Amino acid sequence: MTQEHMKKVRLHDIAHARAGDKGNRSNISLIPYSAATYEILLEQVTEKRVLELFSNKGASKVVRYELPNLPALNFVIDDVLEGGVNSALNLDQHGKTLSFLLLTLSVEVPVTMTIKNTV
Amino acid sequence: MVPSVVNIGCGAGFSGDRVDAAIPVVETLAKREGPKYLIFETLAERTLALAQKHRRKDPTHGYSPFLEDYIRPILKKCYETDIKIVSNFGAANPKGAAMKISEIADQIGCENIKIAIVEGDDLLQVMSSHDIQNHPTIEGLGIDDNEVVAANVYLGARPIAEALSRGADVVVVGRCTDPALVLGPLVKEFGWGEDDWINLATGTMAGHLLECGGQVTGAYFADPGYKDVPDLANVGFPIAEVGNDGSLIITKADNTGGLVSAQTVKEQLLYEIHDPENYFTADVILDISKVRVVEVGPDRVKVSGAHGKQRPDTLKATVSIDGGWMGEAEMSYAGPNALKRAQLAIDVLKSRCRDIKTNNPIRFDIVGTMSVHSGDNEDTTHTHKYPDDGDYRIRIATCGHDKEIVERVNQEMLSLYCSGPAAGGGFRQHLTDQVQTASILVDRNKIVPKVHFLTDYA
């Protein structure tokens, strides 16, 4: 599809997410509202982009796991919790709010796609 | 006779969860046919270390502080309708918890209730502090020479199943894997063997979906306009229906708010999961990578396709060590030019903290601009995209082993009342006794869980 057939939206418009913590590692699930959008997530929400998004918090590595039957992605982000629940100085020691930081990433979708907040 | 379906409800998903959530779950379970169970999961990683500290101060304490609040409203109904209770609210003192439950049972006319205690999770009983300190850590900080406050192994489902087979109405555990609270009853009812990996995987997945209470039934999910949840204030807690054919349905208590949908189940399925093919527990390595989630009715979701691999030879243990002190202090600035005054206050704090000459880390935030999403060392002056007028709250946080230094940093915030920028108000501070945790792996053969009944001690 060419450039003019695409529009930019936030991940928040097409997917939902939840963050969990273990030690100094966070995992964030990314689940498309529509299964048809899974391919867009696969193509555009890469390990590299997610690592970049969390680099200000010290993230050192991102591994992306694919669950095509759900469908969903699961991101495991190392060293992002500034010490984790027992030692982080951040107000959010668990990194519970980080799911919605992931949802700020922008993605390109076909202009014809109905997105969640316009339903 | 092996039942066709076992119903398991969850009454709490963490140590501070709603104390009345179990009531509708019990009302619903009471109407069901077949074996019925109610679990409470109340023991996070560091909750046990705090409990251990309480027990040291008073040997009758050290179990879940909300035990009575959870148990009293539902115990009689559970006993009368044959709903067995399984929980880790024993924390650092399962026997103490069992005695408390027995006391409540006597008061409400359930004198003959059988209360079982699962012990054997306390690693300090079988291993010296020195040996524990020398174990390599797989998560968290190195233990080094720090004093070990608590060290507990995550037990599996087998001792819970044993307690139930021996007739327990209530099973009190200290540390076990959260899914074991659900898998234990299933192993008892269905007689699943130690190498029945597929069924153990399904039971573990059921436990994983239930262990956080409302997180699978619409709680911790709502995002208005995007993910709406009916009557969140009265969210119903989950019930799993597990079939002897390995089928699993997630539903919730009748006449409650919340919802069970494919979306709510997917979010919880991946919660705190790393590699979906390899979720290690004491009983099985769970593989959820091929799982399918299908809505089969109102508030009913079928979950299928869990796979299991041979359980690991090691058990995970959480080691808690003394973590010093954490100090936090806050102050508000609001109205015209509030952001500039907040920034000036932080400049003053930074200058004052330099004079304290400590190497302890110190973090500054302006709540109302970027705070929880920003890193420890990000510059708080990069706030140009936020309006000068507004309602902002500054925060300082620090930690260290020297309590006086930590207190002194908090004190600097307090002093802004008279010595900071104009109109700072609403000062609050906290000083918290910290516990650090680390995870180690322990040879399974060293750990021998034991089941006792409270009557054994009489």
In B290-389, the DSSP E strands lie at 292-297, 300-304, 307-309, 314-335, 362-367
Residue B234 lies in a domain: yes
Q: Measured between CA atoms, how close is B86 to chain A, in angstroms?
A: 25
> Is A16 at the interface with chain B, CB within 8 A?
yes
Q: Is A4 exposed, middle or buried, given 0-12, 13-18 or 19+ CB atoms closer than 10 A?
A: exposed
Across the interface, whether the CB atoms of B436 and A86 are under 8 A apart is answered: yes
State the amino acid at position B73 in one-letter form.
P
Of A79, A92, A98, A63, residue with least CA distance to A23: A79
> Is A50 at the interface with chain B, CB within 8 A?
no
Q: Measured between CA atoms, how close is B367 to chain A, in angstroms?
A: 10
Pair B303, B411 in one domain? no
Of A98, A100, A103, residue with least CA distance to A20: A98
Give the B window 332-361 contacts with A, CB below 8 Å.
361
Give the B window 288-307 contacts with A, CB below 8 Å.
288-293, 305
Beta-sheet pairing, B148-153 with A72-78? unpaired
B285-287 β-sheet, strand order: B279-280, B285-287, B307-309
Pair B430, B346 in one domain? yes
Residue of A29, A73, A100, A115 to mutate, testing the B interface (most B Cβ within 10 Å of its Cβ)? A29
Domain range spanning residue B238?
5-120+155-312
DSSP A70: T
Pair B22, B107 in one domain? yes
- Alpha helical stretches, state H, B12-93: 22-30, 47-57, 67-71, 75-80
Q: Note whether A11 and A103 are within 8 A (CB).
A: yes
> Is B228 at the interface with chain A, CB within 8 A?
no
Across the interface, whether the CB atoms of A65 and B223 are under 8 A apart is answered: no
Give the B window 83-102 contacts with A, CB below 8 Å.
none
Q: What is the pLDDT of residues A47-100, one digit of tens each?
A: 999 999 999 999 999 999 999 999 999 999 999 998 888 889 999 999 999 999
Pair B225, B107 in one domain? yes
DSSP B156: -
Q: Note whether B184 and B130 are within 8 A (CB).
A: no
Of A16, A20, A24, residue with least CA distance to A102: A16
Whole-number Å distance between alpha carbons of B11 and B245: 26
Pair B355, B234 in one domain? no
Q: What confidence tier does A118 reach under pLDDT thresholds 50, 70, 90?
A: very low
Pair B222, B283 in one domain? yes
Residue B301 lies in a domain: yes
Residue B162 lies in a domain: yes
Structural domains counted in chain B:
2
Instruction: Please enumerate in sequence order all residues whose Cβ is within 8 A of that of A40, keeping only pairs 6 or more positions apart, or say none.
Output: A14, A32, A107, A108, A109
Pair B428, B334 in one domain? yes
| B327, closest residue in chain A (CA to CA) | A89
State the amino acid at position B385 in one-letter form.
K
Mean pLDDT for all residues in chain A = 93
SS3 of residue B453 by DSSP: strand
Residue B10 lies in a domain: yes
SS3 of residue B205 by DSSP: helix
Tokens of B9: 């409800």
Tokens of B121: 């999770």
Q: Measured between CA atoms, how close is A3 to chain B, in angstroms?
A: 27
Tokens of B299: 């508030």
Q: What confidence tier does A119 reach under pLDDT thresholds 50, 70, 90?
A: very low
SS3 of residue B329 by DSSP: strand
Of B48, B240, B308, B289, residue with least CA distance to B155: B48
> Is B68 at the interface with chain A, CB within 8 A?
no
Q: Is B345 exposed, middle or buried, given 0-12, 13-18 or 19+ CB atoms closer than 10 A?
A: buried
Residue B23 lies in a domain: yes
Q: What confidence tier does A1 reach under pLDDT thresholds 50, 70, 90?
A: low
B450-453 β-sheet, strand order: B292-297, B300-304, B248-252, B238-243, B5-12, B36-40, B83-87, B170-173, B115-119, B450-453
Q: Note whether B151 and B124 are within 8 A (CB).
A: yes
What CATH number is associated with residue B339?
3.30.70.100
Nearest to B293 among A70, A76, A85 (CB): A70
Across the interface, whether the CB atoms of B363 and A101 are under 8 A apart is answered: no
Residue B236, by phi and psi: left (phi above 0), alpha (psi -120 to 50) or beta?
beta
A3-108 maps to CATH 2.60.40:
no
Of B290, B312, B334, which one is at a domain's C-terminal end?
A: B312
Rounded to a whole number, what is the largest CA-CA distance in chain B? 76
Q: Which residues of chain B have pLDDT under 70?
A: 140-141, 380-383, 458
Of B263, B286, B312, which one is at a domain's C-terminal end?
A: B312
Q: What is the pLDDT of residues B304-341, one digit of tens each?
A: 999 999 999 999 999 998 889 999 999 999 999 999 99
Tokens of B363: 């973090």
Name chain B contacts of A99, Cβ cutoff 8 Å. Answer: none
Pair B47, B23 in one domain? yes
Pair B346, B405 in one domain? yes
Across the interface, whether the CB atoms of A85 and B227 are under 8 A apart is answered: no
Pair B345, B425 in one domain? yes
